[in-house]
Structure 1
């Protein structure tokens, strides 16, 4: 028995959850391959089961993830799967939309769950950084939740999370508007502290939408999705928002 975990992670929260899933299946002698949609465009239809996981933007799965699934998720014959969202709260998300899409491709969706992880979007007064104690609690809770998910899945038990239809519907309508704002967010809001920048080009290489061009200086195009990967993963914390350095995750 072997599974594929297809995922999109911005700053690393989703990847942390994916690694927990790999570990939990591994302890039951079940191997899983990790497939990062920002790097891979193909996945075999020969796996025994699938796990789909992504960060949440505006309470729904981001377009970069859903578009990849539409185009690249293989058509299968009644293969069981898990759908996971990773977010800073339990509020409704786009699992209904993804479940419908995957079902049309032949997947038997057994599990749909959201897993809260520390907030990474805290660059202004409206969004707050998760307190350190709560960060520790969330990580411990994620371990237990993943263990529960895997156990129920292997017992062939359904584990479908109730989703707020109203919040999900509103979020799906708001998301395209927010995305237009996100596209220009980096170009309008970020600057670079070149006294710190070592020109390692990690931000350019790891940007999931190829929004960063590194020539003499860093330039942003209008394809940002505000995932904050560049900000939180810069080795020297060189990016500035309102002329201030971030408290990186």
Structure 2
């Protein structure tokens, strides 16, 4: 039986949702699947030989976040003989340069990328920037994603190629914007995050689950400059104790809608 490895990075569960759809689609086609949060995947300790790889992340400033890029390069070596799909989740309606880095990195290697594609999902950054996707649109976006996973899976397993990527010129320009955002805008936004002491029960689950160890809930400025704004802490707080600009955080809950 063929085997597939699915790796994902997810802050607000959009990407995890798509990864689980791929798991279901592959299993329906009699392919054994192992699925991992890429931060928890132990590549060195896993001796399983996989035939297929599906890897995905949300886009941050139109690119895969550095945390995903670092981990995928570390945990999927260029000499790994495997056929791969890379996907991204985004609110944007059009193609971004998110795939360029992985495509360029694995080009002419044993990692054969034959599909790169994105999934439109509800905007999850509305607390900080952009407009919130109307809740009435959530279900159609999720349903469209499910249909797209089925189509991509069939095309991928049939041997078809479907590479979507932007020009390298746009990619390098976007890399500059990404760097500037993480030097100026993201630290500024993170500095406006606070914790409602009347709600916080000091469970510290947010600190434990922070992928960049950027939280200190006992500080007056709990979010450190290393924060990447994945929002995992804010959207998974059982008490909804996080605030932005001293206002209650509007928790993102697309899957339950």
Q: TM-score, normalised by structure 1?
A: 0.91
1:92 maps to which of 81, 96, 110:
96
Structure 2 residue runs without a partner (length 5+): 253-257
Which digits, 9 at most, give the CA deviation of each residue in 1:90-118, with x for residues without a partner? 33132121112123542111111011111
Change (3 A) 1:88 1:167: farther
Report 1:1-249 matches (<5 A).
1-42=2-43, 44=47, 46-89=49-92, 90-124=94-128, 126-163=129-166, 165=168, 167-181=170-184, 184-185=187-188, 187-215=190-218, 219-249=222-252
The alignment of Structure 1 onto Structure 2 pairs a total of residues equal to: 248
Displacement after TM superposition at 1:182 (Å): 5.8
Change (3 A) 1:222 1:166: same
CA contact (8 A) 1:25 1:31 kept: yes
Q: Distance in 2 between matches of 1:44 and 1:57?
A: 32
CA contact (8 A) 1:182 1:226 kept: no
Q: Distance in 1 between matches of 2:136 and 2:50?
A: 39
Partner of 1:235, secondary structure, is coil
Q: Distance in 1 between matches of 2:81 and 2:176?
A: 31
Displacement after TM superposition at 1:214 (Å): 4.3
CA contact (8 A) 1:61 1:94 kept: yes
Q: TM-score, normalised by structure 2?
A: 0.88
Displacement after TM superposition at 1:164 (Å): 5.2
Change (3 A) 1:239 1:104: farther
CA contact (8 A) 1:92 1:164 kept: no
Q: Distance in 2 between matches of 1:225 and 1:105?
A: 30
CA contact (8 A) 1:8 1:38 kept: yes
Displacement after TM superposition at 1:79 (Å): 1.7
Change (3 A) 1:159 1:62: same
Q: Distance in 2 between matches of 1:202 and 1:178?
A: 27
Change (3 A) 1:58 1:112: same
Match of 2:255 in 1: none
Q: Which region of structure 1 is more displaced relative to structure 2, 219-228 or 235-244?
A: 219-228
Q: Distance in 2 between matches of 1:223 and 1:154?
A: 39
CA contact (8 A) 1:37 1:68 kept: yes
CA contact (8 A) 2:9 2:68 kept: yes
Partner of 1:11, secondary structure, is coil
Change (3 A) 1:46 1:12: same
Q: Which region of structure 1 is more displaced relative to structure 2, 58-67 or 32-41?
A: 32-41
CA contact (8 A) 2:39 2:71 kept: no
Displacement after TM superposition at 1:205 (Å): 1.2
Q: Distance in 1 between matches of 2:17 and 2:71?
A: 21
Q: Distance in 2 between matches of 1:54 and 1:164?
A: 20
Change (3 A) 1:55 1:44: farther
Cα RMSD between the aligned structures? 2.1
